Each structure stands twice: as C-alpha cells, then as structure tokens.
Amino acid sequence: MRSASGITSLIGDVVLAGRGLAKAFSAHGLFRDFDVEVRAGEIVAVVGPSGCGKTTVGNLLLGLVEPDTGSVERRNNLSPLRFQKLYQDPPAAFPPHQTIRTGLRDLAKLHRLQWAEVEKLLTRLRLHQNLLDRLPGQISGGELQRFAIVRALLLDPVFLFADEATSRLDPVSQKEVIDFLIQTVRETGFGILLVTHDRALAERISTRTINLAGHEKSRSLASGIGTNAADRATDSSRPSR
C-alpha cells in the first residue's frame, strides 16, 4: 500500500516472535499461552491497565526476562544489539556523570562507526551540536529521548521496543519523537513494539493493537493512521483471561 506522503509501506518478514509465552511474578500471573510477533515495517502497540504485563512482553522478547514457559525466536540469529529498547525515563538510560558526546563517541568507536553517521542522525532529529557537551541532567527530557533514539539507530536495529517512550514528554516532544519513529519505520523497515497507556496514540499509528486486558484488533498502516474496518484482521496474540 502507499501512504499519503508517497512512501510505500510494506510489511515484511517476522523479525521477532514469542510462542506460547507465560509469565508470573510471585502469585500474580500476567499472561499464559501468549503468542506475539513483530514483522519488519510494522508497529505493534500493546495497551492495557497498569500491572497487566505490557512491559514484561517487550522484556521477554528482548531476553531481559525469561518466560516461565514458551519460547522467543529472532530472525536469522541476529546479534542482540540489533534489538534495541527505548525507556520510559530517558535519564535512566544514560550515565549521569558522562557527557552525551562521550557516550556517543565511545559507542561509535566500539562499533567502528564514523562520527559522520552520528552527525547525520543529530541533524535528522534536530539536535544541536552544543548539547553534546552537556550532562544528561542538563538537557530536556525530549532532547534526551531523541539522543536515546540516535544511540539505538546507530546500531542498525531490526526491532525497537518503545516502552512508554513518550509518556513523560511534553506534547510537542511527543509528536516529534512519534513522527520520527514512523518515518524511520517507513524508510528502514525495522519493527516496533510500542507499549503505551494512550489508546488514541495506539489506534492512530499502529498496524496492530494488542490489549492485554483481553481485547485485540489488527489493522493495516496507511499514512500512520488506521484504515477502515475492511482492512482489519484477527491477531494471533492470545492473552489469558
């Protein structure tokens, strides 16, 4: 299908999948017999009340938490570095006593990347060079989240887990981050698992929405906006009731 902006949006192969997942903490069971998959070029939103296991789903897929039962499959046994996470609290993702420049420089050096690649992403995300020599606590949450996106994209991800990644940002910063992620999905074709409490946001930008409270729906992605009911299908995800 073709978006309103003229960019072709094609849903590709599965990049990450969980099969028959179950997880409980102490006596609290979050879900069981739960199937979920994310394909290239797809934005899958996970919604539901606090404590229902939204973040746990993403952490299971990334291997940050082990399932009680079930399995996780990654495409072609790719490096774990190709599967990235954006955190709800941007400052928590950065060493507090290290400048942004130092962190990005060390990352680029470790992975043999040219600094020009960093600068290209900074320009795309409208991040000024003078912010690089500041500490994380000296810049805004919106700017810091955009730096987190820069860091993730430098590793050429095939999958990004956005865990309430805009919930603590002001409305302008929220829109900037979401618009950039949508555009990047269209251009590069990586998949996103978006955890959010914002049902309207999930409905607006996702290809499929999974409600861990028990309701689910599937939808095609046109220009970042859900299409009509004729395009809807049933998702294979089965949260426990």
- pLDDT tens digit sequence for 217-231: 334 333 333 332 223
**Same domain (yes/no): 127, 60:** no
Q: Say if 92 falls within a structural domain.
A: no
pLDDT of residue 225: 32
- The two three-digit tokens of residue 170, written as one number: 């002001």
241/140: higher pLDDT: 140
Share of the chain above pLDDT 90, in %: 47
Question: Where residue 176 falls among pLDDT bands split at 50, 70, 90?
Answer: confident
> Side by side, which strands form the sheet with 14-25?
28-39, 14-25, 69-74
pTM of the model: 0.81
**Same domain (yes/no): 186, 238:** yes
Amino acid of residue 16: L
Given a cut of 70, whether residue 22 has pLDDT beyond it is: yes
Torsion of CA 118, 119, 120, 123, to 10 degrees: 130
Residues spanned by the domain of 51: 1-78+158-241
As a whole number of angstroms, the distance between CA 34 and CA 109 comes to 40
DSSP single-letter state for residue 207 = S
Average pLDDT over residues 107-111: 94
Lowest mean pLDDT segment, chosen from 3-7, 91-95, 126-130, 156-160: 3-7
Three-state DSSP state, 178: helix
Given a cut of 70, whether residue 10 has pLDDT beyond it is: no
- The two three-digit tokens of residue 137, written as one number: 């606590």
Domain count, the chain: 2
Question: Where residue 188 falls among pLDDT bands split at 50, 70, 90?
Answer: confident
As a whole number of angstroms, the distance between CA 134 and CA 102 comes to 10
Q: What is the CATH number of the domain that holds 57?
A: 3.40.50.300
Q: Say if 90 falls within a structural domain.
A: no
**Same domain (yes/no): 216, 148:** no
Q: Say if 102 falls within a structural domain.
A: yes
**Same domain (yes/no): 237, 163:** yes
**Same domain (yes/no): 103, 122:** yes
Spell out where the chain has E strands. 14-25, 28-39, 43-47, 69-74, 83-86, 159-163, 191-195, 208-211, 216-218
Given a cut of 50, whether residue 141 has pLDDT beyond it is: yes
CA angle 3, 174, 235 (to 5 degrees): 55
In 3D space, the residue among 132, 162, 146 whose CA is nearest the CA of residue 55 turns out to be 162
**Same domain (yes/no): 8, 126:** no
**Same domain (yes/no): 142, 181:** no
**Same domain (yes/no): 73, 173:** yes
Q: Judge whether 201 and 177 are in contact, CB under 8 Å.
A: no
pLDDT of residue 214: 58
Q: Say if 240 falls within a structural domain.
A: yes
pLDDT of residue 15: 92
Given a cut of 50, whether residue 240 has pLDDT beyond it is: no
End residue of a domain, out of 141, 156, 171: 156
As a whole number of angstroms, the distance between CA 163 and CA 55 comes to 6
Mean pLDDT computed over every residue of the chain: 82
**Same domain (yes/no): 172, 143:** no
As a whole number of angstroms, the distance between CA 135 and CA 142 comes to 14
**Same domain (yes/no): 73, 132:** no
Average pLDDT over residues 10-16: 84
**Same domain (yes/no): 70, 171:** yes
CA distance readout (Å), 186 to 94, 108, 119: 28, 25, 21
